[in-house]
Structure 1
Amino acid sequence: MNPYRLYLVTDDQQDLRTLTHVVEQAVKGGVTMVQIREKHGDVRAFIERAQAVKNVLAGTGVPLIVNDRVDVALAVDADGVHLGQTDMPAEIARRLIGPNKILGLSIENHDQLLQADDLPIDYIGLSAIFATPTKTNTQKHWGIEGLIEALNTTRLPVVAIGGINQTNIPQLCATGVHGLALVSAICHADDPCQATQQLLQLMD
Structure 2
Amino acid sequence: MLLPRLHIVTDSLDVVRGVLGHGPVAVQIRVKTNDREAYALTTAALELCRAAGALCLVDDRIGVALAAGADGVHVGADDLPVAAARRVLGPGPVVGATCRDPDSARAAVADGATYLGVGPAFATSSKTGLPEPIGPAGVAAVTRAVPETPVIAIAGITPPRVAELDCYGVAAISAVVADPAGATAEFLKALSGCPKVLS
TM-score when normalising by structure 2: 0.89
Question: Displacement, 1:2?
Answer: 4.3
Instruction: Please name the residue that 2:162 is paired with.
Output: 169
* Structure 2 residue 13 is the aligned partner of structure 1 residue 9: no
Question: Displacement, 1:112?
Answer: 1.7
Q: 1:24 to 1:193 in 2, by over 3 A?
A: same
* Count of residue correspondences: 191
Question: Displacement, 1:68?
Answer: 0.3
Deviations 1:51-88 (A, max 9, x none): 11111112322111000011000010100010011111
Q: Which amino acid is 1:182 matched to?
A: A
* Structure 2 residue 173 is the aligned partner of structure 1 residue 183: yes
CA distance in 1 between counterparts of 2:103 and 2:129 reads: 18
> 2:71–2:94: 8 Å Cα contact kept in structure 1?
yes
Q: Which moved more, 1:56-65 or 1:107-116?
A: 107-116
Specify which structure has the bigger relative contact order, considering alpha-carbon pairs within 8 angstroms and separated by 6 or more residues.
1
For the aligned residues, what is the CA RMSD? 1.6
Instruction: Please name the residue that 1:160 is paired with.
Output: 153
Q: Which of 32, 35, 50 is the equivalent residue of 2:28?
A: 35
Question: Displacement, 1:110?
Answer: 4.8
Instruction: Please name the residue that 2:139 is paired with.
Output: 147
CA distance in 2 between counterparts of 1:26 and 1:68 reads: 22
Question: Displacement, 1:119?
Answer: 1.1
* Structure 2 residue 185 is the aligned partner of structure 1 residue 192: no
Instruction: Please name the residue that 2:113 is paired with.
Output: 121
Question: Displacement, 1:166?
Answer: 2.8
TM-score when normalising by structure 1: 0.87
Look up the SS of the partner of 1:156 in the other structure: coil
Unaligned runs of 5+ in 2: 194-199
CA distance in 1 between counterparts of 2:107 and 2:56 reads: 26
Instruction: Please name the residue that 2:197 is paired with.
Output: none
Instruction: Please name the residue that 1:64 is paired with.
Output: 56
CA distance in 2 between counterparts of 1:26 and 1:52 reads: 15
Look up the SS of the partner of 2:125 in the other structure: coil
Deviations 1:83-126 (A, max 9, x none): 01111121221111111000010013454234223211111100
Q: Which of 15, 18, 25 is the equivalent residue of 1:25?
A: 18
